[in-house]
């Protein structure tokens, strides 16, 4: 040891101090680097399908519970270097294949040119049942198609496309129905040319009587079009229906609440019977002024200026 130190001092006696320090560090680090590289292991091989024997590209090969890994190429070949331990567990994974775990021991033999086979992962699912509810005009068309008799059905989705104000005007757009007007507004409905009293009228399946004592027909102008969900017009009665309508039967199905959030709709219409009169902008503003005067006239005002 003393001879080695003396030789080192004689060899570096003429060198600058910085160069001596660099050479000393190199001599110290070389043994450690050699020992580190000797403990690095390597594995190589090919990933194939266990059934078809076809290569599996982009398969993941890594040391379990670490970030050390690689992927296979287009031919399924792979090379994994820098394995630090002589005993390790390899994890091989591929999409739609079962994950394979391999225990490797580098103390007895090397692991090169391995052929790793992966089995497809097969999972059987139970029957999938998809159900749906038809709504709007789609439901109306399906019910009309599956009906046992001649029936016409119109939904609120279709009703909203026309400027109809009451149920009678909604029914006038169905084939085979004639509308009888009263003071310019649709009121009575005739099916297949028969008088209105030969048609029965129902609301949600319940027959409604005439509000007048000396007639049998019912005026439909009192039912707003906004309250209708479906209109069913049956032109041929079946045995399960009441036999008191020669012309046919009209069933109006009203809307029901579908959400906790309230929905407000408003419509406005005007009728002008004289061609010499025109509803101008000033007339509209004057109507609004009178409306506000009436409203504030009947709302009591508190002393502090707020409405009670």
In the chain, how many H helices and how many E strands?
6, 14
Q: What does the pLDDT look like over 216-240, one tens digit per residue?
A: 778 888 888 888 888 888 887 777 7
Q: What's the pLDDT at 294? A: 67
Q: How far is CA 235 from CA 172, 192, 195, 297, in A?
A: 14, 8, 14, 52
Q: What does the pLDDT look like over 45-82, one tens digit per residue?
A: 999 999 999 999 999 998 888 888 899 999 999 998 88
Q: How far apart are the first and last CA of the chain?
A: 110
Contacts of 16 (CB under 8 A, 6+ apart): none
- Give the SS3 label for residue 115: strand
Q: What's the pLDDT at 308? A: 47
Instruction: For residue 26, report the phi and psi dihedrals to the nearest 5 degrees.
Output: -65, -45
In the chain, the domains with their CATH numbers are 41-118 (2.60.40.1120), 136-254 (2.170.130.10)
172 near 221, Cβ under 8 Å? no
- The number of beta carbons lying within 10 Å of the beta carbon of residue 296 is 10
Those residues of the chain that have pLDDT short of 50 are: 5, 34-37, 299, 301-308
Q: What's the pLDDT at 272? A: 56
Dist CA 252 CA 174 (whole Å): 14
């Amino acid at each position: 040891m003393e001879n080695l130190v003396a030789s080192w001092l004689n060899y570096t006696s003429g060198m600058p101090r910085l160069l001596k320090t660099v050479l000393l560090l190199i001599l110290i680090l070389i043994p450690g680097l050699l020992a580190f590289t000797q403990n690095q292991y390597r594995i190589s091989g090919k990933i194939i399908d266990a059934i078809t024997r076809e290569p599996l590209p982009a398969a993941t090969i890594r040391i379990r519970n670490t970030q050390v890994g690689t992927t296979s190429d287009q031919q399924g070949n792979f090379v994994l270097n820098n394995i630090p331990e002589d005993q390790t567990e390899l994890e091989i994974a591929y999409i739609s294949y079962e994950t394979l775990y391999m225990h490797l021991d580098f103390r007895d033999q090397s692991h090169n040119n391995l052929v790793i086979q992966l089995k497809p992962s097969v999972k059987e699912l139970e029957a999938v049942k998809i159900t749906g509810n038809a709504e709007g005009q789609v439901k109306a068309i399906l019910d009309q198609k599956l009906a046992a008799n001649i029936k016409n059905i119109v939904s609120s989705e279709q009703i909203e496309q026309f400027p109809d104000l009451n149920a009678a005007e909604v029914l006038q757009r169905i084939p085979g129905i004639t509308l009888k007007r009263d003071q310019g507004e649709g009121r009575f409905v005739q099916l297949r040319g028969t008088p209105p009293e030969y048609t029965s009228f129902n609301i949600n399946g319940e027959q409604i009587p005439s509000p007048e004592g000396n007639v049998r027909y019912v005026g439909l102008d009192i039912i707003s079009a906004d309250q209708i969900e479906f209109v069913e017009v049956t032109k041929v009665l079946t045995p399960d229906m009441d036999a008191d309508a020669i012309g046919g039967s009209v069933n109006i199905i009203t809307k029901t609440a579908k959400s906790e959030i309230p929905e407000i709709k408003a419509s406005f219409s005007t009728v002008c019977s004289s061609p010499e009169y025109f509803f101008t902008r000033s007339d509209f503003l004057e109507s609004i002024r009178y409306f506000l005067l009436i409203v504030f006239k009947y709302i009591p005002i508190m002393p502090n200026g707020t409405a009670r």
